[in-house]
Chain A
């Protein structure tokens, strides 16, 4: 009996021991799994309970004009949210809030009275108003700060500057082109934080400070920019034009001193603007330049030796090429004319004569050397190349050689066009256009050095052509003249291509000129799209040039030409 009981007891002990053993093995296995297999994940999950990673936003670099005016910079705004459950009187709170944050009273009341746990009310509350709201000590409201982009001169520098979206990405213009340099690197604070997000005393904290973005100093002068913006705005109204552009460049360096296109948009509220306004017409839209292109044609003719200023050409009012008849703008014949007359009277037949005399290969060689048909490489986003058909590309016809000579059948950007004139002004040297003067970061400043692209025409040709352009202004474009200064320039009245031909209802009126002609400091392009008051460049664009130039010489302290001063005095 005792023996049987002992056996039973032993069996039970073995069972218990086995069960305990298995339990122990299971426990060990689970521990091993937690430690070895899931160790890193569980450790991370555990640290998440008491360690918080806070991303520290990097400040986006500020964009300054060359005279130190902030054009685009970061500011702080507040995000206002509500916990509707904690709001005692939604209607009363909505009444107090709605005048401050620009949200409708009824919408606010609805949000404050909703069943949601959390309701965002506004993410653009100015700091001053946020301070006022925080003094209410309203338990249902919560404020947090965020960075946003501010453009103090909204409308004046767009679309040149571009904009920055909610995700802090720069688009178009300077903001788009220099986005990587401007945005910086966000930092982080990793450590034991209390429930208010503050460091726990003696807690272990790792701080990775953000690296702010680089600041940009542009070549734009805020005074120049203001003058051309004001004049263009007035011109669009006066001439009832659809749109327009003005560019001011320094021929000797390639620096863009001012550039404006209207209509523009408000980058502080870009969401409300039409997307087509975001593109900068100066670099992103092509147009047929019209007669201003005759300067390029004449440069090719003079530099290749095909013509000289005194070369005489018999203008019959028509020019036949490959079955196409070219007419002058006034459909009249001028008889025997010199090449200077061709420029002064803007004769299409004369320009066709020059291009055909030069020959297609040479002519298009000069066109390419002046920078047409390829992007200029300016530091602005979304630049296009323009369109130039050349022999052998399958799209070119012989008649194009004639039509291209007076700016038809090819497409250029305003920037390409003004820089071709700037090359003439700069002794035949085409300069690399640029808009950022220096990039200033923690590592120091990187200054853009003026860079010549190529010698397009000889200095002698450039001087000869300049004299012809001076003559053209003196004889036919008095509205562009500035007392005390010698102006070299050319008008353009371009037709606007539409499918199947040209739009009979509108033109692009333009004028490009530089001054002082002997030692040019400024090269200015005026382009007015579809003016209704007058279609002609000489009547629309040239007077704007005169007004802009006469003000800019004062602002920039450009000394008058003594000869021109004397002539003006004698004229009196």
Chain B
């Protein structure tokens, strides 16, 4: 006798016992959740993945932007530092050039070229008896005062 030809009580019992195990997960799922995308992802998974990608991309983008900006600033700082150093260098050179132009022999030569000449006579004017005040001047400036001596 073929035991599968007519189900016995035992087999029916087995089927009934097995059915809830297969159906149980489906019983807790919502209707929307059971929809599947062609790739096999649920909508929720898809959204989570998309958000993650967008987030990572945004963070990466921000990082790159910031990094680029910092790199740019660093280069600008370097440029400014170099400019400052250059200004310092030029300043020191100009200071020396100014000192060379202020050489007293050069100034005296210039003064002579302009027609000036050294005082030939210096006169002293005595003020208030005991105090002597110094007054260098060119010859003839102070007239013939008896207080003046050559």
B67 to chain A minimum Cβ distance, whole angstroms, is 8
Minimal Cβ-Cβ distance residue in A for B147: A569
A370 to chain B minimum Cβ distance, whole angstroms, is 33
Q: In the docked arrangement, what's the CA distance between A69 and B100, Å? A: 10
Q: In the docked arrangement, what's the CA distance between A194 and B149, Å? A: 76
Minimal Cβ-Cβ distance residue in A for B148: A569
Cβ of A560 and Cβ of B124 under 8 Å apart?
Answer: yes
A 105-139 contacts with B by CB, 8 A: 126-128
Cβ of A226 and Cβ of B134 under 8 Å apart?
Answer: no
Bitwise interface map of A from 438 to 469 toward B, beta carbon under 8 Å scored 1, else 0: 00000000000000000000000000000000
Cβ of B124 and Cβ of A153 under 8 Å apart?
Answer: no
Cβ of A75 and Cβ of B96 under 8 Å apart?
Answer: yes
Indicate if B36 sits at the interface (CB-CB under 8 A).
no
Indicate if B122 sits at the interface (CB-CB under 8 A).
yes
Specify which of B70, B93, B108 is in contact with A201 (CB 8 Å cutoff): B70
Cβ of B93 and Cβ of A562 under 8 Å apart?
Answer: no
Among listed B38-46, B52-60, B125-133, interface-contacting one: B125-133
The A-B contact count (CB < 8 A) is 88
Minimal Cβ-Cβ distance residue in A for B90: A127
A207 to chain B minimum Cβ distance, whole angstroms, is 11
Cβ of A73 and Cβ of B78 under 8 Å apart?
Answer: no
Cβ of B132 and Cβ of A560 under 8 Å apart?
Answer: yes
Minimal Cβ-Cβ distance residue in B for A196: B78
A-chain residues with CB within 8 Å of residue B149 when the two chains form the complex: 483-484, 565, 568-569, 571-572
Cβ of B150 and Cβ of A69 under 8 Å apart?
Answer: no
Indicate if A199 sits at the interface (CB-CB under 8 A).
yes
Q: In the docked arrangement, what's the CA distance between A569 and B149, Å? A: 5
Indicate if B31 sits at the interface (CB-CB under 8 A).
no
Bitwise interface map of A from 214 to 244 toward B, beta carbon under 8 Å scored 1, else 0: 0000000011001001100000000000000
Indicate if B11 sits at the interface (CB-CB under 8 A).
no
Specify which of B67, B104, B136, B147 is in contact with A222 (CB 8 Å cutoff): B104
Indicate if B71 sits at the interface (CB-CB under 8 A).
yes
Cβ of B99 and Cβ of A76 under 8 Å apart?
Answer: no
A-chain residues with CB within 8 Å of residue B126 when the two chains form the complex: 562, 565-566
Contacts A75-B92, A562-B126, A562-B132 given; does A226 touch B99 at CB 8 Å: no
Contacts A201-B74, A483-B149, A569-B146 given; does A559 touch B132 at CB 8 Å: yes
Bitwise interface map of B from 85 to 99 toward A, beta carbon under 8 Å scored 1, else 0: 000011011011001
Indicate if A379 sits at the interface (CB-CB under 8 A).
no
Cβ of B150 and Cβ of A483 under 8 Å apart?
Answer: yes
Cβ of B95 and Cβ of A70 under 8 Å apart?
Answer: yes
Indicate if B105 sits at the interface (CB-CB under 8 A).
yes
Contacts A76-B89, A152-B99, A226-B104 given; does A554 touch B122 at CB 8 Å: yes
Bitwise interface map of A from 391 to 425 toward B, beta carbon under 8 Å scored 1, else 0: 00000000000000000000000000000000000
B103 to chain A minimum Cβ distance, whole angstroms, is 6
Q: In the docked arrangement, what's the CA distance between A198 and B75, Å? A: 8
Indicate if A74 sits at the interface (CB-CB under 8 A).
yes
Indicate if A185 sits at the interface (CB-CB under 8 A).
no
Cβ of B124 and Cβ of A565 under 8 Å apart?
Answer: yes
B-chain residues with CB within 8 Å of residue A223 when the two chains form the complex: 104
Q: In the docked arrangement, what's the CA distance between A550 and B136, Å? A: 11
Q: In the docked arrangement, what's the CA distance between A76 and B82, Å? A: 14
Q: In the docked arrangement, what's the CA distance between A484 and B133, Å? A: 11
Pick from B67, B71, B93, B148 the residue with the most CB of A within 10 Å: B93
Bitwise interface map of A from 123 to 165 toward B, beta carbon under 8 Å scored 1, else 0: 0001110000000000000000100001011001000000000
Cβ of A70 and Cβ of B104 under 8 Å apart?
Answer: no
